[in-house]
């Protein structure tokens, strides 16, 4: 028995999965309520959901060299392109300044709206009007302006001012300033195309060619804070690039797909224009410089021409003689040679300085600018440039591979040294050529000094004019080259897939999945509630709980009493409760027979605490014995809290207390009841010393006298878990019935009686399970019987009378389920 008790204690501490499941199932109404609320909330959210869309465009960053811009041209050019060009484009696309240009170009700081079911909707180009605003006037920001067309040519403007001071922003300077207004609704009517000139708004409403006014329907337009609008578009724009790839994917998220298309295309357009302008900057700067030089040379040429003509008219010398012409030709030839040599020397000096001071050799000036034709120079410059370009590309696409870069650096360094040697050698030769040319010019100047003075003056003027003319023609030629290069340049931005209002990706959650979440949330709450209550629950909810907690046998299972008093057996003798007490009577008689107890019997009914149905069980156990024809007396020994008199509608003026203190005789304290063969001795007035009275010898005498008069003596005693009075009465009783009430008795309350039973302090004790309700939310629906006479459903028809003549459909289904389960 000790081992059995220890096992039951261990099992009591474990989590009861079955109880948890049945408790959770009992919350099905809560689940349905939560599910209905959840579905309603999700539905309201779904119908209010405003979808965002994502569209994209795809561009490629190319290195398009101008086919007209080659090494044979006389302008400097970029041999290797721009390093890290893709990264530069990504940074530009994400820059605030770039988005400012796009927002400004599209005027996206101005929105057109209409009232939707739940919110304002951006209708963009679908608006039937446009507001042409004054760009240099502070327009009202962050407050919608209502436009309602009264006729095809008139409308009403309405603004609701909530504060006495509002703000406007200049669309050119972006400066924000305050404006004082009157709080309330401002209304004013205008004719179409009339100028609106208000302190907070300036412009006019126009109808586009493909639109017409919608009379009576309100529309809105609103200016947003420029910086906020730019920041919003910048934040919603994404740029992605696979490593080493020149392809850029540009995406934008917005609620209006047409806006996405226009914004993405404008992003690419602005980027392409900016890049092309930067690419043309060399040619543009060259053209500006050449224009300045042409202006100067043109004036110089005009002055020289005028001076020459004036001299000819004055001296009547219109041409040089043969000797003068010859000398002039020599001057022209040797001066051209000298100028060419100086250009080459200057170029080589610049090239040498560039090679010595630069780390990158992708911007080597074109040799042809100075008329360089040396094959070694041209070949080596081309090689060093190609290697530098390759190095620049590898720096962007290759990481942590020093061997490749070391090899390229060695090759570049070798070519640089070769070029420096070539430059040194060629420079020495050019200086010798320059000395030779200067010597020849000196000889020509000696010949020139021998000419007549008029011929010398005419020759000098002719030389100055020719030099100016040659420079003028050269600059005109250079300008023509620059114009051709600028006109033929193309952007490095290649649009692969322009933005289009097709295949937009809808962003946001799948709205239907919300219903799944609502279902699981509605399911989780009852499960969590059931788990917590089961975890912290310390009450007894079924006979099986009792079996786990105690090794004391259960004598009977009593159903929940539905009457307004405790006389269940007397008032409903055919009820299931009455049959359960009859089963208790039968089991007691079987127990008496086994224990060979003859004669009068004494039964004590007690419990752990008050409220467990001890008095209810005492009354009905006494009643079933009396109904069997046995003389029975119910003795109320719960002196602290007497109860039994109320159910029998008798008085409690005198009782066992009066007998024990010698005030009244036994005949005076015994009271008859309406139940045949059943008498009652109430407890009487509450005494100050109940425990002392119960251990008085008078109680022993009382029990002896009652045994001589009655077949069964039922003792209604105080709760054993609260006071020790019941323990004092154990010597007088044959059997002790310990009452446990479903959903009321705590598991720990059985520890005391288990210990008494384990240590043999209490013998012949059995448990009465009271208040059993198979429909209770904590119950299991076992059809618990134990052979104690507690039947169910159709099996009890004709035997039990609970006041129900018809079974509901739900009960029938339950009975069929139980029957099938038993089979």
3-state helix, strand, coil in the chain (%, to 5): 50, 15, 30
Strands (E), 39-119: 52-61, 110-115
Give the rounded percent of residues in the chain with a pLDDT score beyond 90. Answer: 30
- Give the pLDDT score at 453: 60
- As a whole number of Å, the end-to-end CA separation of the chain is 34
Structure-block tokens of residue 270: 């602005």
- Could you tell me the sign of the dihedral formed by the alpha carbons of 811, 812, 817, 819, in that order? positive
Structure-block tokens of residue 424: 């040194």
3-state secondary structure of 16: coil
pLDDT, tens digit, for every residue of 607-654? Answer: 988 888 999 999 999 999 999 999 999 999 888 888 888 888 898 889
**Across residues 289-314, what is the average pLDDT?**
69
pLDDT over 90 at 791, yes or no = no
pLDDT, tens digit, for every residue of 164-188? Answer: 999 999 999 999 999 999 999 999 9
pLDDT over 70 at 814, yes or no = no
Q: Which of 81-85, 205-209, 284-288, 705-709 has the lowest mean pLDDT?
A: 81-85
105 within 8 A of 229, measured Cβ to Cβ: no
Question: Which of 33-47, 292-306, 509-523 has the largest mean confidence?
Answer: 33-47
- Give the pLDDT score at 688: 86
Provide the pLDDT confidence category of residue 806 given band limits of 50, 70 and 90.
Answer: very low
Rounded to whole angstroms, the Cα distance separating 643 from 683 reads 9
- Give the pLDDT score at 85: 74
Rounded to whole angstroms, the Cα distance separating 283 from 75 reads 8
Give the rounded percent of residues in the chain with a pLDDT score beyond 70. Answer: 77
The sheet carrying 145-151 orders its strands as: 120-122, 110-115, 218-223, 145-151, 154-161, 184-191
- Give the pLDDT score at 71: 41
pTM, two decimals, is 0.53
Report DSSP state, residue 530.
Answer: H
Name the residue among 342, 789, 818 with its Cα closest to residue 583. Answer: 789
Element of type H or E holding 138: strand 138-140
Rounded to whole angstroms, the Cα distance separating 362 from 385 reads 5
Could you give the domains of the chain?
2-51+508-536 (no CATH), 281-496 (no CATH), 543-791 (3.40.50.300)
pLDDT, tens digit, for every residue of 762-788? Answer: 888 999 999 888 765 554 444 444 433
Element of type H or E holding 580: helix 576-594
pLDDT, tens digit, for every residue of 327-363? Answer: 666 767 777 777 778 777 877 887 788 777 776 665 5
Name the residue among 627, 637, 544 with its Cα closest to residue 584. Answer: 627
Rounded to whole angstroms, the Cα distance separating 53 from 816 reads 57
Q: Which of 106-120, 138-152, 782-796 has the lowest mean pLDDT?
A: 782-796
**Structure-model confidence comparison of residues 281 and 162, the more confident one:** 162
202 within 8 A of 139, measured Cβ to Cβ: yes
128 within 8 A of 219, measured Cβ to Cβ: yes
236 within 8 A of 225, measured Cβ to Cβ: no
pLDDT, mean over the chain: 79
Provide the pLDDT confidence category of residue 10 given band limits of 50, 70 and 90.
Answer: very low
pLDDT, tens digit, for every residue of 497-509? Answer: 788 888 777 776 6
- Give the pLDDT score at 430: 83
Q: Which value, to the nearest 10 degrees, does the dihedral of the CA atoms of residues 338, 343, 344, 349 take?
A: 130
Bridge partners of 205?
Answer: 131
pLDDT over 60 at 800, yes or no = no
**Structure-model confidence comparison of residues 415 and 399, the more confident one:** 415
Strands (E), 182-313: 184-191, 195-198, 201-206, 218-223, 237-240, 247-254
3-state secondary structure of 375: helix
Rounded to whole angstroms, the Cα distance separating 193 from 195 reads 6
* Phi-psi domain of 184 (left: phi exceeds 0; alpha: psi -120 through 50; beta: other): left
**String of DSSP letters for 678-709:** EEEE---SPPS-HHHHHTSHHHHHHHHHHHHH
**Structure-model confidence comparison of residues 321 and 432, the more confident one:** 432
pLDDT, tens digit, for every residue of 67-78? Answer: 444 444 444 434
- Could you tell me the sign of the dihedral formed by the alpha carbons of 460, 462, 466, 468, in that order? positive
549 within 8 A of 8, measured Cβ to Cβ: yes
- Give the pLDDT score at 81: 40
pLDDT over 70 at 820, yes or no = no
**What letters, b where the CB count within 10 A reaches 16 and e where it falls short, cover 312-337?**
eeeeebeebeeebeebbebbeebbeb
* Phi-psi domain of 183 (left: phi exceeds 0; alpha: psi -120 through 50; beta: other): beta
3-state secondary structure of 114: strand
pLDDT, tens digit, for every residue of 192-246? Answer: 888 999 999 999 999 998 888 899 999 999 999 999 999 999 999 999 887 767 8
- Give the pLDDT score at 3: 37
pLDDT over 50 at 323, yes or no = yes
């Amino acid at each position: 028995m000790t081992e059995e008790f220890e096992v039951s204690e261990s099992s009591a501490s474990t989590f009861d999965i079955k109880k948890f499941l049945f408790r959770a199932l009992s919350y099905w109404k809560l689940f349905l309520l939560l599910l209905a609320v959840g579905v309603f909330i999700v539905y309201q959210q779904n119908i209010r959901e405003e979808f965002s869309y994502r569209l994209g465009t795809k561009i490629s960053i190319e290195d398009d060299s101008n086919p007209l811009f080659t090494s044979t041209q006389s302008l400097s050019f970029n041999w290797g392109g721009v390093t890290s060009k893709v990264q530069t484009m990504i940074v530009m696309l994400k820059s605030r300044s770039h988005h400012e240009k796009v927002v400004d170009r599209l005027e996206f700081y101005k929105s057109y709206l209409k009232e939707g079911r739940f919110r304002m909707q951006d209708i963009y180009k679908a608006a039937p009007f446009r507001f042409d605003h004054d760009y240099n006037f502070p327009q009202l920001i962050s407050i919608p302006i209502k436009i309602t067309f009264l006729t095809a040519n008139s409308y009403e403007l309405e603004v609701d001012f909530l504060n006495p001071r509002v703000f406007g922003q200049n669309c050119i300077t972006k400066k924000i300033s305050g404006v004082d207004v009157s709080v309330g609704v401002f209304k004013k009517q205008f004719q179409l195309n009339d100028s609106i000139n208000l302190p907070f708004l300036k412009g006019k409403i126009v109808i586009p060619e493909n639109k017409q006014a919608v009379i009576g329907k309100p529309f809105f337009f609103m200016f947003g804070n420029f910086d906020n609008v730019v920041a919003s578009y910048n934040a919603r724009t994404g740029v992605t690039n696979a490593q080493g790839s020149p392809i850029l994917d540009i995406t934008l998220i917005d609620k209006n797909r047409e806006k996405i298309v226009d914004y993405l295309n404008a992003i690419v357009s602005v980027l392409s224009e900016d890049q092309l302008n930067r690419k043309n900057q060399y040619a543009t700067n060259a053209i500006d410089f050449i224009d300045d030089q042409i202006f100067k040379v043109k004036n110089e040429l005009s002055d020289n021409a005028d001076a020459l003509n004036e001299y000819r008219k004055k001296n009547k010398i219109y041409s040089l003689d043969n000797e003068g012409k010859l000398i002039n030709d020599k001057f022209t030839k040797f001066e051209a040679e000298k100028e060419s040599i100086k250009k080459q020397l200057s170029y080589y000096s610049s090239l040498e300085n560039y090679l010595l001071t630069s780390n990158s050799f992708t911007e080597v000036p074109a040799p042809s600018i100075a008329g360089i034709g040396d094959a070694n120079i041209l070949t080596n410059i081309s090689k060093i440039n190609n290697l530098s370009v390759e190095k620049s590309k590898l720096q962007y696409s290759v990481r942590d591979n020093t061997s490749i870069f070391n090899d390229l650096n060695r090759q570049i360094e070798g070519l640089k040294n070769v070029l420096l040697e070539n430059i040194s050698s060629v420079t020495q030769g050019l200086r010798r050529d320059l000395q030779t040319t200067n010597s020849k010019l000196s000889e020509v100047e000696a010949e020139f000094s021998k000419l007549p003075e008029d011929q010398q003056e005419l020759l000098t003027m002719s030389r100055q004019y020719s030099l100016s003319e040659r420079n003028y023609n050269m600059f005109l030629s250079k300008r023509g080259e620059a114009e051709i290069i600028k006109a033929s340049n193309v952007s490095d931005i290649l649009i692969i897939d322009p933005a289009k209002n097709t295949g937009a990706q809808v962003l946001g959650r799948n709205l239907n999945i919300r219903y799944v979440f609502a279902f699981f949330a509605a399911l989780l709450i009852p499960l969590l509630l059931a788990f917590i209550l089961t975890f912290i629950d310390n009450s007894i909810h079924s006979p099986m709980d009792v079996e786990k907690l105690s090794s004391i046998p259960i004598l009977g299972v009593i159903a929940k009493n539905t009457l307004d008093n405790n006389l269940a057996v007397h008032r409903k003798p055919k009820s299931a409760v009455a049959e359960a007490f009859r089963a208790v009577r039968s089991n007691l008689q079987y127990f008496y027979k086994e224990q060979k107890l003859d004669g009068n019997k004494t039964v004590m009914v007690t419990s752990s605490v008050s409220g467990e149905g001890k008095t209810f069980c005492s009354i009905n156990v006494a009643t079933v014995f009396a109904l069997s024809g046995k003389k029975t007396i119910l003795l109320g020994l719960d002196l602290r809290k007497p109860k039994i008199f109320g159910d029998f509608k008798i008085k409690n003026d005198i009782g066992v207390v009066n007998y024990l203190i010698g005030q009244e005789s036994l005949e005076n304290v015994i009271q008859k009841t309406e139940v045949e063969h059943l008498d009652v001795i109430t407890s009487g007035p509450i005494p100050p010393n109940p425990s002392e009275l119960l251990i008085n010898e008078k109680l022993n005498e009382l029990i002896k006298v009652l045994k001589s008069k009655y077949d069964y003596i039922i003792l209604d005693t105080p709760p054993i878990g609260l006071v020790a009075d019941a323990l004092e009465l154990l010597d007088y009783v044959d059997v002790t019935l310990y009452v446990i009430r479903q959903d009321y008795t705590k598991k720990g309350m059985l520890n005391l009686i288990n210990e008494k039973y384990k240590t043999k302090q209490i013998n012949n004790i059995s448990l009465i399970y009271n208040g059993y309700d198979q429909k209770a939310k904590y119950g299991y629906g076992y059809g618990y019987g134990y052979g104690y006479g507690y039947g169910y459903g159709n099996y009890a028809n004709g035997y039990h009378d609970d006041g129900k003549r018809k079974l509901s459909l739900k009960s029938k289904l339950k009975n069929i389920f139980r029957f099938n389960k038993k089979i």
